[in-house]
Amino acid sequence: MSTTATLTKQFMSSEQLLEHWQGHRNLTRRVIEAFPEKDLFEFSIGGMRPFAKLAAELISIAGPALKGIVNKNMGAYTEDGFNPQTKEDILKKWDEETEVINHYFSQITEERFQETFNLFGQYEFPVYQNILYFVDNEVHHRGQGYTYLRALGIEPPFFWERF
Protein backbone atom coordinates (compact mmCIF):
# COMPACT_ATOMS: atom_id res chain seq x y z
CA MET A 1 0.00 0.00 0.00
CA SER A 2 1.42 3.36 -0.91
CA THR A 3 0.83 6.58 0.97
CA THR A 4 0.08 9.90 -0.62
CA ALA A 5 1.03 12.22 2.25
CA THR A 6 4.18 12.32 4.35
CA LEU A 7 2.39 12.43 7.68
CA THR A 8 0.38 9.22 7.49
CA LYS A 9 2.78 7.14 9.57
CA GLN A 10 3.44 8.59 13.00
CA PHE A 11 6.93 7.97 14.36
CA MET A 12 6.32 9.32 17.85
CA SER A 13 3.98 11.62 19.73
CA SER A 14 4.93 15.03 21.10
CA GLU A 15 4.65 13.68 24.66
CA GLN A 16 7.19 10.99 23.80
CA LEU A 17 9.58 13.55 22.33
CA LEU A 18 9.34 15.70 25.45
CA GLU A 19 10.00 12.71 27.73
CA HIS A 20 12.95 11.74 25.53
CA TRP A 21 14.40 15.25 25.63
CA GLN A 22 14.01 15.63 29.39
CA GLY A 23 15.73 12.25 29.77
CA HIS A 24 18.67 13.65 27.80
CA ARG A 25 18.61 16.76 29.96
CA ASN A 26 18.82 14.62 33.11
CA LEU A 27 21.95 13.02 31.70
CA THR A 28 23.49 16.35 30.69
CA ARG A 29 22.83 17.61 34.23
CA ARG A 30 24.86 14.71 35.60
CA VAL A 31 27.68 15.48 33.16
CA ILE A 32 27.76 19.07 34.48
CA GLU A 33 27.88 17.68 38.03
CA ALA A 34 30.73 15.31 37.15
CA PHE A 35 33.14 18.17 36.34
CA PRO A 36 35.36 19.54 39.09
CA GLU A 37 34.37 23.19 39.63
CA LYS A 38 37.55 24.65 38.16
CA ASP A 39 37.62 22.34 35.12
CA LEU A 40 33.99 23.05 34.34
CA PHE A 41 34.92 26.68 33.68
CA GLU A 42 38.47 26.31 32.39
CA PHE A 43 39.26 22.91 30.88
CA SER A 44 39.30 22.78 27.10
CA ILE A 45 40.66 20.72 24.19
CA GLY A 46 41.80 22.12 20.85
CA GLY A 47 40.56 25.65 21.49
CA MET A 48 36.97 24.57 22.13
CA ARG A 49 34.80 26.21 24.80
CA PRO A 50 34.88 24.90 28.38
CA PHE A 51 31.83 22.80 29.30
CA ALA A 52 30.35 25.65 31.39
CA LYS A 53 30.10 27.69 28.18
CA LEU A 54 28.52 24.80 26.29
CA ALA A 55 25.99 24.32 29.11
CA ALA A 56 25.22 28.06 29.08
CA GLU A 57 24.53 27.77 25.35
CA LEU A 58 22.13 24.88 25.90
CA ILE A 59 20.36 26.85 28.64
CA SER A 60 20.11 29.90 26.39
CA ILE A 61 18.51 27.90 23.57
CA ALA A 62 15.88 25.49 24.88
CA GLY A 63 13.50 27.55 27.03
CA PRO A 64 13.90 30.85 25.16
CA ALA A 65 13.43 29.12 21.81
CA LEU A 66 10.23 27.35 22.87
CA LYS A 67 8.91 30.59 24.33
CA GLY A 68 9.69 32.30 21.01
CA ILE A 69 7.92 29.56 19.06
CA VAL A 70 4.79 29.72 21.23
CA ASN A 71 4.66 33.53 21.23
CA LYS A 72 5.79 33.81 17.59
CA ASN A 73 8.53 36.14 18.75
CA MET A 74 11.59 36.16 16.48
CA GLY A 75 13.94 38.01 18.84
CA ALA A 76 17.63 37.22 18.36
CA TYR A 77 19.54 34.51 20.22
CA THR A 78 21.60 35.78 23.15
CA GLU A 79 23.56 34.37 26.07
CA ASP A 80 23.80 37.81 27.67
CA GLY A 81 21.17 37.16 30.30
CA PHE A 82 23.05 34.28 31.89
CA ASN A 83 26.61 34.55 33.20
CA PRO A 84 27.10 31.73 35.69
CA GLN A 85 30.04 31.97 38.10
CA THR A 86 29.68 28.58 39.78
CA LYS A 87 28.52 25.04 39.01
CA GLU A 88 25.64 25.69 41.39
CA ASP A 89 24.53 28.69 39.28
CA ILE A 90 24.37 26.44 36.23
CA LEU A 91 22.51 23.59 37.94
CA LYS A 92 19.96 25.96 39.48
CA LYS A 93 19.21 27.57 36.12
CA TRP A 94 19.17 24.13 34.47
CA ASP A 95 16.37 23.02 36.81
CA GLU A 96 14.41 26.23 36.31
CA GLU A 97 14.56 25.72 32.55
CA THR A 98 13.22 22.18 32.93
CA GLU A 99 9.92 23.71 34.00
CA VAL A 100 10.04 26.41 31.32
CA ILE A 101 10.49 23.71 28.66
CA ASN A 102 7.56 21.66 29.98
CA HIS A 103 5.38 24.76 30.16
CA TYR A 104 5.95 25.99 26.61
CA PHE A 105 6.39 22.67 24.83
CA SER A 106 2.94 21.48 25.85
CA GLN A 107 1.39 24.53 24.17
CA ILE A 108 2.65 23.63 20.70
CA THR A 109 -0.06 22.03 18.58
CA GLU A 110 0.37 19.14 16.15
CA GLU A 111 -0.19 21.50 13.21
CA ARG A 112 2.39 23.94 14.53
CA PHE A 113 5.16 21.29 14.59
CA GLN A 114 4.86 21.19 10.80
CA GLU A 115 4.78 24.94 10.26
CA THR A 116 7.89 26.88 9.32
CA PHE A 117 9.12 29.38 11.91
CA ASN A 118 12.05 31.80 11.72
CA LEU A 119 13.59 30.91 15.07
CA PHE A 120 15.63 33.71 16.68
CA GLY A 121 14.98 35.60 13.42
CA GLN A 122 17.63 33.40 11.84
CA TYR A 123 16.77 29.68 11.58
CA GLU A 124 13.80 29.22 9.26
CA PHE A 125 12.69 25.58 9.49
CA PRO A 126 9.63 23.54 10.42
CA VAL A 127 9.15 23.71 14.19
CA TYR A 128 9.73 19.96 14.66
CA GLN A 129 13.13 20.33 12.97
CA ASN A 130 14.05 23.26 15.18
CA ILE A 131 13.20 21.19 18.26
CA LEU A 132 15.17 18.17 17.01
CA TYR A 133 18.07 20.57 16.56
CA PHE A 134 17.95 21.57 20.25
CA VAL A 135 18.15 17.92 21.30
CA ASP A 136 20.86 17.01 18.78
CA ASN A 137 22.91 20.06 19.70
CA GLU A 138 22.75 19.01 23.35
CA VAL A 139 23.82 15.42 22.59
CA HIS A 140 26.61 16.77 20.35
CA HIS A 141 28.05 19.12 22.98
CA ARG A 142 27.61 16.53 25.71
CA GLY A 143 29.68 14.11 23.61
CA GLN A 144 32.41 16.76 23.69
CA GLY A 145 31.91 16.98 27.47
CA TYR A 146 32.37 13.21 27.76
CA THR A 147 35.71 13.58 25.96
CA TYR A 148 36.77 16.37 28.34
CA LEU A 149 35.91 14.15 31.32
CA ARG A 150 37.86 11.19 29.90
CA ALA A 151 40.84 13.48 29.23
CA LEU A 152 40.61 14.56 32.89
CA GLY A 153 40.62 10.91 34.00
CA ILE A 154 36.99 11.08 35.15
CA GLU A 155 34.49 8.37 34.22
CA PRO A 156 31.37 9.97 32.69
CA PRO A 157 27.83 8.78 33.56
CA PHE A 158 26.45 5.91 31.47
CA PHE A 159 25.07 7.23 28.17
CA TRP A 160 21.91 5.14 28.44
CA GLU A 161 20.89 6.33 31.92
CA ARG A 162 18.35 9.07 31.51
CA PHE A 163 16.44 9.17 34.79
Out of 36, 102, 151, 161, point to the residue binding a copy of itself (CB under 8 A): 151
Out of 11, 76, 80, 163, point to the residue binding a copy of itself (CB under 8 A): 11
What is the number of other CB atoms lying within 10 angstroms of the CB of residue 100? Answer: 16
Report the residue number, 80 or 111, with the smaller CB distance to a copy of itself: 111
Task: Identify which of 61, 56, 90 has the alpha carbon closest to the alpha carbon of residue 77.
Answer: 61
Mode of pairing for the β-strands spanning 116-119 and 123-126? antiparallel
Q: Is 116 in the site for a copy of itself (CB under 8 A)?
A: no
Q: Is 137 in the site for a copy of itself (CB under 8 A)?
A: yes
State whether residue 118 is helix, strand or coil.
Answer: strand
Beta bridge partners of 126: 116
Rounded Cα distance, 49 and 158, in Å:
23
**65 CB-near residues (< 8 Å, 6+ apart):** 119, 120, 130, 134
CB 31 within 8 A of CB 146: yes
24 annotated binding-site participant: no
Report the residue number, 30 or 89, with the smaller CB distance to a copy of itself: 30
Rounded Cα distance, 38 and 52, in Å:
10
Q: Is 81 in the site for a copy of itself (CB under 8 A)?
A: no
Binding letters toward a copy of itself, positions 13-32, x by CB under 8 A: xxxxx--x---x--------
Out of 36, 37, 38, 45, point to the residue binding a copy of itself (CB under 8 A): 45
Q: Is 47 in the site for a copy of itself (CB under 8 A)?
A: yes
Q: Is 70 in the site for a copy of itself (CB under 8 A)?
A: no
Binding positions: 141
- The binding site for a copy of itself (CB under 8 A) comprises 6-17, 20, 24, 45-48, 109-110, 113, 128-129, 132-133, 136-137, 139-144, 146-153, 159-160
Binding residues for a divalent metal cation: 141
